[in-house]
Structure 1
Amino acid sequence: MTPEQSPLGRSADYPAEYDAALLYPLARAPKRQELGLAGATPFFGADLWTAYELSWLNPRGKPQVALAHITVPCETPNIIESKSFKLYLASFNNTRFDSLEEVRARIRADVSEAVWRGSGQSASVGVRLIAPEAFDQQPLHELDGLLLDRLDLECTHYTPAPELLGANHDEAPVSEVLTSHLLKSNCLVTGQPDWGSVQISYSGAQIDQAGLLQYLVSFRNHNEFHEQCVERIFMDVWTRCRPIKLSVYARYTRRGGLDINPFRTSAPQPLPANVRTARQ
């Protein structure tokens, strides 16, 4: 399966009833090979999805709604193409389920099968459903860290330019958390804009902040899926700046009722909380 064969950019009727076959997995390997990655990767992490448009019918035909948090480990061989995920969730709209727990279990089983498909392996993704009575408990918080966007500088590159990255290896190592709201890329297939905020946490030689911001801006006209952009950022910083530890976390604005928030880190650690930002 290729991105060009996916539902992206094509007219599609909304499904009348539940259909797990709507999920369209895409292999991670081709894009990782572009980054020089084969086999084990130098990072851990996951893709944190939020679904805001989840609804189904209870046994009496009354509509139910919920928010869904779905966690897909980056070790899975596949990602899910986002429009297919939207259509899959829409297939719940006119289908009756006995309970919220049944819906959660069905999403968990279907997404788990799709992201591991063709690998000969299996494991479960994480799925958490939030019922309406808990909606007002959902927090909103911006990414913590020093904002790179405060810098007044000239930007001239709008396709990824890793040569802009640098670090001072002559001074003592530091630990920093740097953020920016200026990340923008485009969908690999449709060219539609994807807007995001990014957080880069590292220990090691101090990274040149001006160069890092110019580098992040350089994704502005780049066509790639969210997960692939974050892995590209991670690998460029990892190879160009050579930190001791590195984490890259991006939160993208939603499209089609879904947001995708990839997290990659060089050292195993707890995943960040799936907390939306103001733009999401």
Structure 2
Amino acid sequence: MNNSSKSELLDSLSLGKATEYGGDYDPGLLQAVPRVLNRIELGVEHTQPFFGEDVWNAYELSWLNEKGKPVVALARISIPFNSECLVESKSLKLYLNSLNQTRFASMRSVLNVLTRDLEALLDIPVTVNVFSANDLSEFRVTNMPGECLDDQDIIVNEYQLTPSLLQCAEGDKHRTTSEILHSHLLKSNCLITNQPDWATVIIDYSGQAIDREALLRYLISFRQHNEFHEQCVERIFMDLLRTHKLSRLSVQALYTRRGGLDINPFRSTDESAQAPLLRINRQ
């Protein structure tokens, strides 16, 4: 896809445009963005060295029961990494709000409609779960695994994406390790609106030891970078895989919510791995 076609596709999205919220159920509000837009640049448009999923949590889900009484709930949506497209976030927000004045017989009916419409958009099976507003067990804040990178007293000068900052652990480039690291300092900007996107990132790997100061500087260099959530995670994954000899790698980002949605992309070298259901207090 050339730059002109890419620009036209992005310009056609509702993201960044003033939009009226309708009161009628409308699956046509959903919009898809081809994953290939970013994967061409990463050199993985045909074959990806990762597996995983994009886990969405929706906090503003409501409909009417058969007597016209409002029901509120939460939803979790898992979209496979190998779907041809990702869902554009504002379109999902508009779509979910189109259910507000629609009558459904049960929560199961809502789940079935969400699943049907998303699968029709993406042409791939998706997993949808709907939870009661009183179901606290699914949305508890959890401790982040591994060690936090953020207490390092480092000098930072790069705020534009700089993969060359990554390097092996100083003093012994042949040292191998297995560890989990996380940072709360990941910030990027929306590709279209330039609004800030905030996230905690978790990196779980085995192989050539990654220099922690270098890794933190690299993550901070996303600070003025414009890209969708899913694309940022795939970029981090590919940059780490290309700069270090790793036998195993998983990258997950827990983005803070916007418009009643948070997105949690997960990519891993392990085909059987599923995204850990982690939750930060900023979500």
Structures share a fold, TM > 0.5? yes
Equivalent residue, structure 1, for 2:241: 238
Alignment-derived partner of residue 178 in structure 2: 175
Matched residue SS, 1:79: strand
Does residue 1:255 correspond to 2:238, yes or no? no
- The CA distance in 2 between the partners of 1:274 and 1:98, in whole Å, is 29
Q: CA deviation at 1:137?
A: 5.7
Asked if 1 retains the 8 angstrom alpha-carbon contact of 2:57 and 2:77, the reply is: yes
Equivalent in the alignment of 1:135: 136
Aligned residue in 1 for 2:3: none
Q: Does 1:88 align with 2:95?
A: yes
| Higher mean C-alpha deviation, range 85-94 or range 123-132 | 123-132
How far the C-alpha of 1:131 sits from its partner, in A, is: 1.0
Q: Counterpart in 2 of 1:164? A: 165
* Alignment deviations for residues 189-220 of structure 1 (CA, whole Å, 9 cap, x no partner): 00000000000010001000000000000000
Aligned twin of 2:148: 147
Which 4+ stretches in 1 moved above 4 angstroms?
Answer: none
Alpha-carbon separation, structure 1, partners of 2:67 and 2:278: 33
2:233 is the alignment partner of 1:227:
no
Contact 1:199 1:248 in 2 (8 A): yes
2:130 & 2:177 partners in 1: Cα distance? 39
What is the aligned partner in structure 2 of residue 106 from structure 1? 113
Instruction: Report SS of the residue matched to 1:176.
Output: strand
8 A contact 1:109–1:124 mirrored in 2: no
Match of 1:120 in 2: none
Residue type matched to 2:97 in 1?
A
Contact 1:26 1:80 survives alignment (8 Å): yes
Cα distance in 2, alignment partners of residues 44 and 247 from structure 1: 9
Structure 2 unaligned spans of 5+: 1-7
Structure 1 counterpart of 2:11:
4
| SS across alignment from 1:244 | strand
- Corresponding residue SS for 2:150: helix
CA distance in 1, matches of 2:18, 2:173: 56
**Contact 1:248/1:263, CA 8 A, preserved across alignment:** yes
**Contact 1:51 1:68 (8 Å CA) reproduced:** yes
Aligned residues: 274
The AA in structure 2 aligned to 1:244 is S
1:132 Cα deviation from its structure 2 partner: 2.5
SS in 2 for 1:191: coil
CA contact (8 A) 1:69 1:274 kept: no
- Find the counterpart in structure 2 of residue 185 from structure 1: 188
Greater shift in the superposed pair: 131-140 or 55-64: 131-140
What stretches of structure 1 of length at least 5 have no aligned partner? 117-122
RMSD across aligned positions (CA): 1.3
> Which amino acid is 1:196 matched to?
A
Q: Deviations over 1:232-268 (max 9, x none)?
A: 0000000011211111000000000000000000122
Is 186-195 or 8-17 further displaced after alignment? 8-17
Contact 1:142–1:278 at 8 Å: present in 2 too?
no
> Quick one: distance in 2 between partners of 1:104 and 1:172?
49
| 1:59 paired to 2:39 | no
| Residue 119 of structure 1: aligned partner | none
Mean alpha-carbon deviation: is it higher for 162-171 or for 57-66? 162-171
Q: Which amino acid aligns with 2:140?
A: P
Aligned equivalents of 1:11 and 1:138: distance in 2? 31
Residue identity matched to 2:156: C
Partner Cα separation in structure 2 for residue 275 and residue 203 of structure 1: 21
Counterpart selection for 2:277 from 258, 269, 274: 274
Q: Does 1:20 align with 2:50?
A: no
Q: Are the equivalent residues in 2 in contact too, given 1:48–1:261 (CA < 8 A)? A: yes
> Identity over aligned residues, as a percent?
46
Alignment partners' CA distance in 2, 1:17 and 1:40: 40
- SS across alignment from 1:133: coil
